[in-house]
Amino acid sequence: MDGTRPAGADAARAASILDPLAREAAFAALLPVLERLVGEAGADARLSPDARRILRAVARTKPGNTLALADLAARGSTPKTRVPAALDELADRGYLARLARIAPHLTAALPAPTCTAPAGALGAEPRHQRDP
pLDDT digits (tens, 9 = 90+) for 6-37: 444 344 444 455 677 877 787 888 889 999 99
Q: Over pLDDT 90: what percentage of the chain?
A: 46
Mean of the per-residue pLDDT values for the chain?
A: 77
- Does 74 map to a domain? yes
Q: How confident is the model at residue 131 (pLDDT cuts 50, 70, 90)?
A: very low
- Does 110 map to a domain? yes
Question: Cα–Cα distance between 59 and 52 in angstroms, integer?
Answer: 11
Residue range(s) defining the domain that contains residue 117: 31-130
Question: Cα–Cα distance between 1 and 4 in angstroms, integer?
Answer: 8
**Residue, of 40 and 63, whose pLDDT is higher:** 40
Strand pairing class (128-130; 113-116): antiparallel
CA geometry: angle 18, 73, 82, nearest 5 deg:
130
CB atoms within 10 A of CB 7: 8
Q: For residue range 86-96, what is the model confidence (pLDDT) as tens digits?
A: 999 999 999 99
Predicted model pTM? 0.70
- Does 9 map to a domain? no
> Could you tell me if 80 and 120 are in contact, meaning their C-beta atoms sit under 8 angstroms apart?
no
- Does 120 map to a domain? yes
Domain count across the chain? 1
